[in-house]
Chains A and B, each alone.
Chain A
Amino acid sequence: MDANTEPIIRVEDLTVAYGNNVVLEDVNFEVRPGEIFVILGGSGCGKSTLLKHMISLQEPVKGRILIDGKDVVTAEGFELLEIFRRIGVMYQHGALFGSMNLLENVCLVLEEFTSLPRAAMETIALMKLNIVGLADSAYKMPSELSGGMKKRAAIARAMALDPKILFLDEPSAGLDPITSAQVDELILKLSRNLKMTFVIVTHELPSIFTVADRVIMLDKNAKTIIAAGTPDELRDKSDNPWVRRFFNRQADDGMSE
């Protein structure tokens, strides 16, 4: 990865709070194009909150979040839609529309944003479903799918408009190790072949070591990033004992709390 490339996402001095309860304070980081960037941390440290701010679902107290040079915090109307066209989001439980089959789920965003004929949309939807291995299930309803299939279908839907960046919220949570490994494989395949940038929120260690190029680690007490680097660096070289314990899966002995 070329360290000099212009970052595709830049988060500057981000402070996030629910009422008076500050969740994150002065968070700064950058995501470079084409990398798989993992946001990590224990339960309740604000990982998903950070993600929701990056995709403009919530408004921060202060700070800027630039996606492709555009600030998502201040963006409104058409400008925001332009940003949404460039990103795809997979929600934790898939959030597929239950009243539509998978093909229609993927076609929906194409209908809204493009003027392609119906046959073209269906071909594109089938392609996207094929890449996640679900082309055979295109006419199934979400309720007929297993958890892992739902997540993969949600990735296909997020990819409908060929986004530059995919945000994945806990892609392997609640999946068995084999299915979880399949999702990891899919992420690597997409990253390699389509040069997509990934921002992934997770706390599944095996996934992190398989897919992550770079990791930032958030902490509930510090309310900011306590470590950043490659997964191996964090496991072996971090001077923060809590980070090392996290990576070595040791139970909390009360040292850092």
Chain B
Amino acid sequence: MAHIDYQVLREGELEIVVTGRLDTETTGRFWSQVVRKITETRPELLIVEASGVEYCDGAGVALLLRLKHTQEENGRQIQIKGLQSQFEQLMALFDPGRIEKTEQKNTSLTSFVEDTGQVTFRLLQDFKSQVSFIGELSVKLWHALIHPGNLRWRDTFLIAEKSGANAVGITALLGFLIGLILAFQSAVAMRKFGAEIFAADLVTISLFRELGPLLTAFVLASRSGSAFAAELGTMKVNEEIDALTTMGLDPVGFLVVPRVIAAVFVTPLLTMFNNFFGLIGCGLVMTSIGFAPVAVLNQIREAAYLGDLFGGLVKTLVFGTLIAGIGCLRGLQTGTGASAVGDSATRAVVSSIVAIVMADGVFAVGYYFLGI
């Protein structure tokens, strides 16, 4: 156990008598008390009577150093008396002196303007890197199209399997549930007008034109886009990307092109699964509220045209390119450190989803003018 006593010797002189073991536990209890006492009394001379200190570990030394620095910073005196030489040596060894904390960010107007400028600059730089990446990717994709022999087909198929075949279950489930929910909700609303059968039309058209492609793209972005970013990000952190570059292999051609081709290939297929299971969900609801299966089937067949289906599928080609391209770009942009890969994966998903919705808007306008 340690003990501490205070004694005002005369005006401006304070003596602290420390006895016992100054270890992490006891120092923790004394620390605030001692520091408060010093700041309150502001002694010109502080005498620490330490001949009774039996043991002193890092925390004890820290306390003594803190007293020393507090006194010295305020131009006051300190005397540490009777401290065993081994502990004195520890003090000398550990004393870091005065370390300036790196300056805190000031919150003035200048810093606000500076921050705004920096954020804008970063956004513009990010935009620039995206544009140059799109250009590079287009060149490499074109190259792969005219020289298909140079493409790494094995990798492409593996990636297609991972992001396509393995995603069939989740896409189908999601489509089924959305078809089910949409049909049920709209049938309830349409009952007021006696138009329940048209719920089938609603579900079919919205699935084919919008929901199918969008939902599939979201699944792909969160499943595969993030995986691409994490995979390429880890490769970046492990210097594998650098190794590829110095071996004369272009990272975009080697890693990005197979992923983009695989994604473009699987997105329409997944969308078809999504649509199909959505219609099954819809049919289930319609038959359960009393329509004959044949009636529902006829209604679905007459509701949608081929234009609706293919209009939706064409969109998915663009979505697939966006997801894989953005995922890979974010992966290649990964910084250093353990959190960098996680950040890249997050940014990949967020950017992909924003890009998908924006592209969908462009398609909506385009299709309107084309009359599709």
Residues of A within 8 A of B93 (CB): 131, 189, 193
- Please state if B62 and A124 are interface contacts (CB–CB under 8 Å): yes
Instruction: Please state if A120 and B339 are interface contacts (CB–CB under 8 Å).
Output: no
Q: Is A45 an interface residue (CB 8 A)?
A: no
Minimum distance in angstroms from B87 CB to a CB of chain A: 11
Q: B202 at the A/B interface (Cβ < 8 Å)?
A: no
CB of B57 closer than 8 Å to a CB of A: yes
Within 8 A of B (CB), among A77-128: 97-99, 113-117, 119-120, 123-124, 126-128
Within 8 A of B (CB), among A184-199: 189, 193-194
Q: Which of B59, B61, B94 contacts A116 (CB 8 A)?
A: B59
With contact pairs A123-B65, A127-B95 given, residues A114 and B35 touching in the complex (Cβ less than 8 Å) = no
Per-residue CB contact flags for chain B residues 10-46 toward chain A (1 = under 8 Å, else 0) read: 0000000000000011011001100100000000000
- Residues from chain B with a CB closer than 8 A to the CB of A160 are 58
With A115-B28, A123-B66 known as contacts, the answer to whether A98 contacts B57 (CB < 8 A) is no
Which of B96-104, B107-115, B134-142, B193-201 lies at the interface with chain A? B96-104
Q: Does A240 contact B (CB under 8 A)?
A: no
B window 233-247: CB within 8 A of A: none
B90 at the interface (CB under 8 A from A): yes
| Bound: A143/B339 CA distance, A | 12
Q: Which residues of A contact B94 (CB under 8 A)?
A: 127-128, 130-131
- A161 CA / B31 CA spacing, docked (Å): 17
A29 within 8 A of B: no
**Contact (A139, B28) CB under 8 Å given A123-B66, A124-B58:** no
How far does the alpha carbon of A147 sit from the alpha carbon of B61 in the complex, in Å?
A: 29
Is the contact region of chain A dominated by helix, strand, or loop, or is it mixed? helix
Is A136 in contact with chain B by the CB < 8 A criterion?
Answer: yes
Q: Are B337 and A124 in contact, with the CB atoms below 8 A?
A: no
Which residue of A has the minimal Cβ distance to B58?
A162
Neighbouring B residues of A128 by C-beta, 8 Å: 58, 94
Q: Does B116 contact A (CB under 8 A)?
A: no
Mostly, the B contact residues are helix
Asked if A127 contacts B65 (CB within 8 A), the reply is: yes
Given contacts A98-B339, A114-B28, A139-B101, is CB(A120)–CB(B96) below 8 Å? no
A-B pairs under 8 A by CB, number = 81
Contact of B28 with A126 in the complex, beta carbons under 8 Å:
no
A129 at the A/B interface (Cβ < 8 Å)? yes
Asked if A130 contacts B31 (CB within 8 A), the reply is: no
A138 at the binding interface (Cβ < 8 Å) = yes
Give complex CA distance A124, B336 in Å: 29
Give the CA-CA distance A126 to B57 in the complex, in Å: 15
Does B264 reach chain A (CB closer than 8 Å)? no
Closest Cβ of chain A to B152, distance in Å, is 32
- Taking the complex as formed, is B255 at the interface, i.e. its CB lies under 8 A from any CB of chain A? no
* B-side contacts of A228, CB under 8 Å: none
Best-buried of B25, B57, B59, B65 by chain A (most CB within 10 Å): B59
Residue of B nearest to A195 (CB): B86
- Chain A residue nearest to B24 in the complex (CB): A114
> Given the complex, which residues of A lie within 8 Å of B7, measured CB to CB?
none
B227 at the interface (CB under 8 A from A): no
B63 pairs with A98, CB closer than 8 A: no
- B339 touches which one: A99, A114, A127, A159 (CB < 8 A)? A99
**24 examples of A-B residue contacts, CB within 8 angstroms:** A113-B24, A115-B25, A115-B28, A116-B31, A116-B59, A117-B31, A117-B32, A119-B66, A120-B28, A120-B31, A124-B62, A126-B96, A127-B62, A127-B65, A128-B94, A130-B95, A130-B96, A135-B96, A138-B99, A143-B337, A159-B58, A162-B57, A193-B89, A194-B90
List 4 additional A-B contacts (Cβ < 8 Å) besides A114-B25, A135-B97, A193-B89.
Answer: A114-B28, A120-B31, A123-B65, A142-B337
- On A, residues with C-beta under 8 Å from B are 97-99, 113-117, 119-120, 123-124, 126-131, 135-136, 138-139, 142-143, 159-162, 189, 193-194
Residues of B that sit less than 8 Å from A by CB: 24-25, 27-28, 31-32, 35, 57-59, 61-63, 65-66, 89-90, 93-97, 99, 101-102, 336-339
